[in-house]
Amino acid sequence: GTLMSADHARRYPVFTISSGPTNSMRGASFLTGHADRIVIDIGGTTTDVGMLVGGFPRTRGLGAEIAGIKTNFRVPDVHSFGLGGGSVIRQEGQNLTVGPDSVGHGLTERARVFGGDVLTATDLAVAAGFARLGNRAAVAGLDPALVERALLLMKSGIENAVDRMKPAPAPMPAVLVGGGSILVDGGLEGCSEVVRPPHFESANAIGAAIAQVSGEIDRVVSLDGKTRDEALAEVIAVATNRAIEAGADADSVEVAELTETPLAYLPGNAVRIAAKAVGNLAA
């Protein structure tokens, strides 16, 4: 959810993973004014669900699994699955599927409401009256039972993703963003409220436009000979200096994230401390 230099991105491309969804999450925070929310970003191909904590995407502290490979990289904690406005709808007998394949950027040419011959999730949203796009007459003949069943299938997939990402069983407020969020109408199980803010379709671009500069550090330190507060202060100072060196205005830098993980299997009272400091881009 923050800026990095082109050189840094070339050297550490792994840190660009999930940069798209995190932009949308930052945009969702800006559009709603809320710092702690579930964010559901539905695009043309995928749905990305994550948690805003203090205005920034929650990260996976114990490393991420990328393409089935476990890593030790701290990346945004985002769950993605194949549901979007371009998801292809298929029915064979009683078997109904939504995606995971999508017409993607070809939606305005291939979807039925735009004169195409592929039945998409957007077609169903238009048929159900969730959105006014294209030629609604092109989907007027769809079986209402098919439309309802497919929309419930989509809703169930989103609710399962929300349940997976929530830190506790209790319902939490959610923000819907992305052009594909027209697929959802009304509330969602597991959410105390669902808000689709003005300009929801532009959340990703807004998140990129307001991005701040960050400095991060993830270090294992020994508490032998120093206090916990001293160790935290050292790590925070490094993160702060890195943010300033990356181009942040020194007066605007603040700590956005700080996590501690005791490492009982290492000697010396070891603890893993990760810190992220952010600030506005210096003029």
- Tens digits of per-residue pLDDT, 37-74? 999 999 999 999 999 988 888 877 666 667 777 777 77
Q: What is the pTM of this model?
A: 0.83
**Percent of residues, the chain, with pLDDT higher than 90:** 57
Window from 113-117, 119-123, 165-169 with minimum mean pLDDT? 165-169
| Residue whose structure tokens are 């990402």 | 165
Burial, 278: exposed, middle or buried (Cβ in 10 Å; 0-12, 13-18, 19+)?
A: buried
pLDDT one-digit tens code per residue, 193-236 = 999 999 999 999 999 888 888 888 888 999 888 899 999 999 99
Window from 51-55, 66-70, 81-85, 172-176 with minimum mean pLDDT? 66-70
Q: Which residue has the higher pLDDT, 75 or 190?
A: 190
- Domains annotated on the chain, with CATH: 2-82+152-209 (3.30.420.40), 87-144 (no CATH), 212-279 (no CATH)
Q: Which residue has the higher pLDDT, 2 or 252?
A: 252
pLDDT of residue 70: 77
Phi then psi for residue 53, to 5 deg, are -130, 115
Quote the tokens at residue 20.
């798209």
- 140, 127 Cβ separation under 8 angstroms: yes
d(CA 133, CA 120): 13
Is 219 in a helix, a strand, or coil? Answer: strand
d(CA 174, CA 49): 10
Window from 12-16, 108-112, 127-131 with minimum mean pLDDT? 12-16
Phi then psi for residue 238, to 5 deg, are -65, -45
User: Residue 9: pLDDT above 90?
Assistant: no
Q: Which residue has the higher pLDDT, 48 or 265?
A: 48
pLDDT of residue 63: 63
pLDDT of residue 69: 77
pLDDT band at residue 269 using 50, 70 and 90 as cut-offs: confident
pLDDT of residue 62: 62
Nearest to 280 by CA among 240, 238, 252: 252
pLDDT of residue 106: 94
pLDDT one-digit tens code per residue, 142-160 = 999 999 999 999 999 999 9
In this structure, the strands spanning 56-57 and 191-195 are: unpaired
Window from 124-128, 206-210, 233-237, 262-266 with minimum mean pLDDT? 262-266
pLDDT one-digit tens code per residue, 270-282 = 999 988 898 988 8
Identify the bridge partners of residue 56 per DSSP, sorted by sequence position: 53
